[in-house]
Amino acid sequence: MELKDLFEAIVDGKLEMAVAVTKGAVSDGIQPDEIITDYMIKAMEEIGKQFEEGRVFVPNLLMSARAMKGALDILRPLLRGRQDMYVGKIVIGTVKGDLHDIGKNLVASMFEGCGFEVINLGVDVSSDKFIKTVAESHADIMCMSALLTTTMNYMKVVIEDLKKAGLYGKVKVMVGGAPITASFARSIGADGYTSNANAAVVMAKQLIGVNGWKGI
């Protein structure tokens, strides 16, 4: 297998193949940033484009994200301490009362693959946990997800608590999920909203002033 097979493996969602090609590339002495920038990111951009064009669907995106994460897990130990590969830090979670995590995990994987350090808090995350983690980690961005109309309003509670903690404005706030709209995001004081994982990466980079891909 050749390194170009990694692109196809990720686009096609083939985890085992993605891992095998990545291991082979590392053994051949190919630099992690070349593997990520030239193959992994381009593959996720391609599957994201196909999704936006309606040629593939959410299960395909999830399989591609899983394949990319498997490849990234091989490279992660080689990237530790590499400041040139670092884009920023993101805290992400599904809000209190909501147990949906497929979309949130997809976004988290995309962030990781594109150079962000990601702290994934899981589901049913309280305002206290969001704020404590943001404060302790000095995160650049906090991302909240909700899939229910009954839980989406909790996002406003978290933002109000961010203000009380003196962190509002110091950390950028992104929101997303099926019932969320741009107007809702603006109304609660969020800095950004996107409807899919591909757009979330672009938005995150814009919010912290990163132009284009930075290394990873």
Sign of the CA dihedral with 101 first, then 147, 201, and 45 last: positive
Over residues 147-158, mean pLDDT = 96
- Contact between 43 and 11 under an 8 Å Cβ cutoff? The reply is yes
Q: How far apart are CA 138 and CA 211, in angstroms?
A: 21
Band (58; pLDDT cuts 50, 70, 90): confident
User: Is 175's pLDDT higher than 70?
Assistant: yes
Query: Do 4-83 and 86-207 agree at the fold level?
Result: no
- Please indicate, yes or no, whether the overall pTM of this predicted structure exceeds 0.85: no
Specify the CATH architecture of the domain 4-83: Orthogonal Bundle (1.10)
The predicted pLDDT at position 211 comes to 55
- Contact between 110 and 197 under an 8 Å Cβ cutoff? The reply is yes
Q: Where are the domains of the chain?
A: 4-83, 86-207
Residue 107 or 27, more confident = 27
Q: How far apart are CA 175 and CA 145, in angstroms?
A: 6
User: Domain 86-207: what homologous superfamily?
Assistant: Cobalamin-binding domain (3.40.50.280)
Collect all residues with Cβ–Cβ distance below 8 Å to 152 and sequence separation of at least 6.
95, 146, 177, 179, 180, 184
Band (212; pLDDT cuts 50, 70, 90): very low
